Amino acid sequence: MRMVSQKKVVILLVIAFIIGFLFGDSSFQQRPSKSLSSDTSADVYFDNDLFWHVWSTLKENYVKQPIEDKDLFYGALKGLVMGIDDPYSVFLKPELAKKFIEDMAGSFEGVGMELGVKDGHLTVIAPLPDTPAFRAGIRSGDKIFAIDDQDTSNMGLDEAVLLIRGPKGTVVKLTIWREGETKTEDVEITRDVINIKTVSWELKENKIAYLNISHFSEDTWADFQDIAIVIIKANPQGLILDLRNNPGGYLDAAVNIAGYWTGEEVIVVSKDAQGEEKKYQANNDGDLKHIPTIVLVNQGSASASEILAGALQDYKRATILGEKTFGKGSVQELEGLNDGSALKLTVAYWYTPLGRSINEEGIIPDIEIEMTDDDYLHDRDSQLSKALLMLAGELN
């Protein structure tokens, strides 16, 4: 995620750090001068009389009174954006803007997981390591059917995040369903401060370097550069880049990191509604390209992590191992409005250097290995074990 101007931000999260914004009051009294069409079958349609009839009926007859005009106005705008049926385009009230900015700073209070929408359901993209959600056993792919007994079937991402977020020490109850289970399960999670070191590494047996990036924050690029220097000096036999359960984050960090394997190549391409393309190019020397590399991914790998994995796969700089990624390949632009609110809108899709669509398609591993329930039960990492054996030359 990076600032484009004072008013616009390019956003890669699906983040469960997703909080949107809304239009202001300044245009509240401006009504359309006439209906655009009186034919409900027309492509362009707005029935001015119908809109104001519903408005007046709510104001006069709804059982709970009074109704604030501002609430109806914001509700109408929220519904307007919902009409495009895109879970990542949102229109929310101004008070949520502050929460969004706090998220960008990298520290907040909550449970520590990224949310998205998959097959029409609120879905956990990934729990972040060593967070309340992770410790409670939440997994990538878990469907959230209710939050504190509130049904999520018609709930937007930002509303869900707002309900899950809360002060340290308080408890939120999530009703989840996991694939393969016959019933839902209630999981109570105690909120805490979420502030995570995003990059870590260790040298494993057979001189295999293991590098984990949990998500792409403000500090990720600087931390990665420091660690890359140490890895290069260690002269490892191979390198494992673990992007599992990495829900994304700052685009620039992912592009710059990819350059350590690709050199000065195009890492990702965005394409907007008019078909115009924008290419994002790395500006590095490929300092790690001589080290045999395996990238670990799973269904919790999303957005920026998919961009990184897709580029290394296209340029054949790494073997991708694990499970098909989440498929969050859309670009959101955040436009600040005059009352402190904003519109977050999907304006483009991401494509790998070879033109593969990331959105909904995801990145398919070169070697597919699924973590089983037995693996989780016995704290066994079959994907990492396979990568270690391959790089040690014990497996092909």
Largest CA distance in the chain: 76
Helix (H) or strand (E) holding 177: strand 171-177
State the residue for tokens 């350059």.
259
- CA gap 344, 92 in Å, rounded: 9
- CA gap 305, 313 in Å, rounded: 12
Under 8 Å between Cβ of 172 and 147: yes
- CA gap 172, 166 in Å, rounded: 8
Q: Which residues are catalytic?
A: 303, 314, 328
For residue 380, give every residue at least 6 positions away whose Cβ sits within 8 Å of its Cβ, in sequence order, or none. 374
The answer, yes or no, to whether the previous bond of 132 is cis (omega within 30 of 0) is: no
For 109: left if phi > 0, alpha if psi spans -120 to 50, otherwise beta; the answer is beta
- CA gap 311, 305 in Å, rounded: 10
